[in-house]
Amino acid sequence: MSRAWRTRRHRSQAGAMPPPAEVTDPSHAPAVLRQLNEQRLRGLFCDVTLIAGDTKFPAHRSVLAASSPFFREALLASAPLPLPPVIGGSAPNPATTTAASSSSSSSSSSSPPPASSPASSPPRVLELPGVPAAAFSDVLNFIYSARLALPDGGGDGAAVAEIGALGRRLGISRLQGLGEGGDAWVPPAPAPMAPSQPEEDGFGPGPRPAREWESDRAEAQAPDSQPALSRQPLPCPRCGKSFIHPKRLHTHEAQCRRGASTRGSAGLGVGGSGPSGPTGMDASALPPTVGFRGGPEHVVKVVGGHVLYVCAACERSYVTLSSLKRHSNVHSWRRKYPCRYCEKVFALAEYRTKHEVWHTGERRYQCIFCWETFVTYYNLKTHQRAFHGISPGLLASEKTPNGGYKPKLNTLKLYRLLPMRAAKRPYKTYSQGAPEAPLSPSLNTPAPTAMPASSPPGPPPAPEPGPPPSVITFAHPAPSVIVHGGSSSGGTGGGLANTGGAQAASVITYTAPPRPPKKREYPPPPPVPTPTPTSPATAGSPATPAGPATATEETKGRNLRAAGL
DNA sequence: TGCTTCCTGCCAACCTCA
DNA sequence: TGAGGTTGGCAGGAAGCA
């Protein structure tokens, strides 16, 4: 409830005036919309994820349904609803609703993928194939802010027409005339400011102190607090940064829209006039905020003399930039990593790799004491703890405070890591994103022959990697696994462990129809031989510095003695 | 309690470009 | 060809679920 409303009511009751017949608060609606937009940008209470291009847009179903007839129908429907075709445009792009399996807890990413399950509940993921992320970002920002900053000040006719076309397809009346005629669309008036907002807030031009930046953040996190209503920062619909003056916000939006050109100057005010970063950031002593392809700006902080890279979306901090870049894909889904054996898609390559181990049954972790092999490091560790009374981690490595791994020098590994049977995936060009052609003639080879008799079909169609998104949406926590349920593979790889459904919220089942084959595929893993725990035939790999090539009682004893056992 | 996924520092392989 | 950037694998604890 609006604090202003309560104030008026309190005053009317406390004074001698009779209570009014009706209490109205003209600032209530824009304030609520503003709060909804902030919640969307922060991923709060979002109950649907829209996928346009390769970008995810968390949103609120109610807001979407109230703004667009298409969304209202799509979010009500239990079956995929085709998006209305572009009038005079290209081929229609069927929107596919994706129902998050209500039983997703039993459908973890390492468990066999469920068959195409009809969505009996409202879809939680709505995919909009063919809808460019940039245009949809503008439309979604309009839905949540009733404002639309036209690309390049309206001079970008193609972009404006694209937004207008999307508005027509979604049935958003205010956008329907956009791009069709010069005067067919009237930009809506900016959201009215709350009466209590100071017009001259005393901040003036120039960088804002970090305290104020933090204050805005605190207000955004505590929407009911008094300062939030008295100051009411205006968030940028693209990046979420808050500004006091609408003019400043407009200036920032223009810069923000230009993308990379603003990353060094407009992001955090490093060397510019924008707002300063969070407390702890020494802008003058640091390199400028660096943007990376397809990702958001990130914040560089210095804490205790150590440089930290902070994700602009979720504020996680990282010691290394590469870790932050890797993490950023969880937000952007700029790259997708589909499993070759089932229909799950992962946000990180490593997740996919680990998941595929369950399909191949490969056992790479070998105990150097008994030569038994294990699928996962956890299994190895449990085995060595139970049967040998040791914990390999205590001797092999050093854990960093943030959960990272720092190997010690001259350490004794109490296990052997067998080389991966699948060849190392060749890299492709960085600048082109997804490659256009298969990497090798063997890439189309179906799944490994060692798959069980009921093995799933070959590599499923995977999402087509699109161009780098221009917008990184806030999605915290972001789903990091998408399960395509279009084809009934089942994917019950023999020996697949039922994972027990960990991280249920990160598994999404697609009911989308099969897509065209993914252009980028990886070489299939070689056939999986029967594990021979007692035969270290594959010993001596470069990654196995600790173990001898042959297993003898003498070497086993030596290993045990070396381990202090 | 068992098991899986997530997370993140570190590092090597790979790619791009001057 | 070397420098610098990108990508993905590894380790192993944390978190979460059944």
Does A364 contact strand C, using a CB cutoff of 7 Å? yes
pLDDT at A113: 34
Write the DSSP assignment of A8-67 as a string of letters: HHHHHHHSSSPPPS----TTHHHHHHHHHHHHHHHTTT--EEEEETTEEEEE-HHHHHHH
Burial of A464 (0-12, 13-18, 19+ CB in 10 A): middle
Phi, psi torsion values for A352, nearest 5 degrees:
-65, -45
Does A500 contact strand C, using a CB cutoff of 7 Å? yes
pLDDT at A380: 86
Question: Å from A287 (CA) to C3 (C1')?
Answer: 19
> A195: cis peptide before it, omega within 30°?
no
Question: Å from A375 (CA) to B7 (C1')?
Answer: 20
Question: Å from A219 (CA) to B1 (C1')?
Answer: 42
Q: Which nucleotides of C are covered by protein (CB under 7 A)?
A: 5-18
Question: Å from A292 (CA) to C13 (C1')?
Answer: 29
Does A303 contact strand C, using a CB cutoff of 7 Å? no
Q: Tell me which residues from 166 to 195 on chain A have a beta carbon below 7 angstroms from nucleic acid strand C.
A: none
Please give the single-letter amino acid code of residue A442: S
Listing from the earlier edge strand, what are the strands of the sheet with A373-374?
A373-374, A365-367, A415-417
| Neighbour count for residue A330 (Cβ, 10 Å) | 23
pLDDT at A42: 65
Nucleotide nearest to A351 (CA to C1'): B5
**What digits encode the pLDDT tens for the residues A53-80?**
656 677 888 888 888 888 888 877 644 4
Task: With beta carbons less than 8 A apart as the criterion, state whether A234 and A244 touch.
Answer: yes
Nucleotide nearest to A394 (CA to C1'): C12
| Neighbour count for residue A385 (Cβ, 10 Å) | 13
pLDDT at A153: 59
Does A424 contact strand C, using a CB cutoff of 7 Å? yes
Write the DSSP assignment of A285-332 as a string of letters: GSPPP-B-TTS-BEEEEEETTEEEEEETTT--EESSHHHHHHHHHHHH
Q: Which nucleotides of B are covered by protein (CB under 7 A)?
A: 2-17
pLDDT at A298: 66
- Which residues, at least 6 apart from A55, have a Cβ–Cβ distance to it below 8 Å? A133, A136, A137, A332, A333, A334, A469, A471, A472, A473
Nucleotide nearest to A323 (CA to C1'): B8
Angle between helices A133-145 and A157-170 (to 10 degrees): 60
Q: What is the pTM of this model?
A: 0.43
Question: Å from A397 (CA) to B4 (C1')?
Answer: 22
Residue nearest to nucleotide C13 (CA to C1'): A403
Q: What whole-number distance in Å separates Cα of residue A158 and Cα of residue A138?
A: 14
DSSP A338: E
Does A293 contact strand C, using a CB cutoff of 7 Å? yes
DSSP A531: P
Residue nearest to nucleotide B4 (CA to C1'): A499
Nucleotide nearest to A325 (CA to C1'): C6
Nucleotide nearest to A431 (CA to C1'): B16
Q: Tell me which residues from 271 to 290 on chain A have a beta carbon below 7 angstroms from nucleic acid strand C.
A: none
Nucleotide nearest to A357 (CA to C1'): B4
Q: What whole-number distance in Å separates Cα of residue A552 and Cα of residue A464?
A: 51
pLDDT at A530: 37
| Neighbour count for residue A422 (Cβ, 10 Å) | 18
Does A396 contact strand C, using a CB cutoff of 7 Å? yes
Q: Tell me which residues from 100 to 139 on chain A have a beta carbon below 7 angstroms from nucleic acid strand C.
A: 105-106
Q: What tens-digit pLDDT sequence spans chain A (565 residues)?
A: 333 333 333 333 333 445 557 788 888 888 888 888 877 776 667 777 777 765 667 788 888 888 888 888 887 764 444 455 444 333 333 344 433 333 333 333 333 333 333 333 455 667 776 777 778 878 888 888 888 777 555 666 777 888 888 888 888 878 877 766 443 333 333 333 333 333 333 223 333 333 333 333 333 333 333 322 233 445 555 555 555 455 555 555 555 444 433 333 333 333 333 333 333 333 333 333 433 333 445 677 777 677 788 887 777 888 888 888 888 888 777 777 877 777 777 888 888 888 888 777 888 888 888 888 888 888 888 888 888 877 654 444 444 444 444 544 445 677 888 877 655 544 444 444 333 333 333 333 333 333 333 333 334 333 333 333 333 333 334 445 555 544 333 333 333 333 333 332 233 333 333 333 333 333 343 343 333 333 333 333 333 333 333 334 444 554 545 444 4
Q: Could you tell me the two tokens for A439? A: 């990497």
Nucleotide nearest to A414 (CA to C1'): C11
Nucleotide nearest to A429 (CA to C1'): B15
Does A350 contact strand C, using a CB cutoff of 7 Å? yes
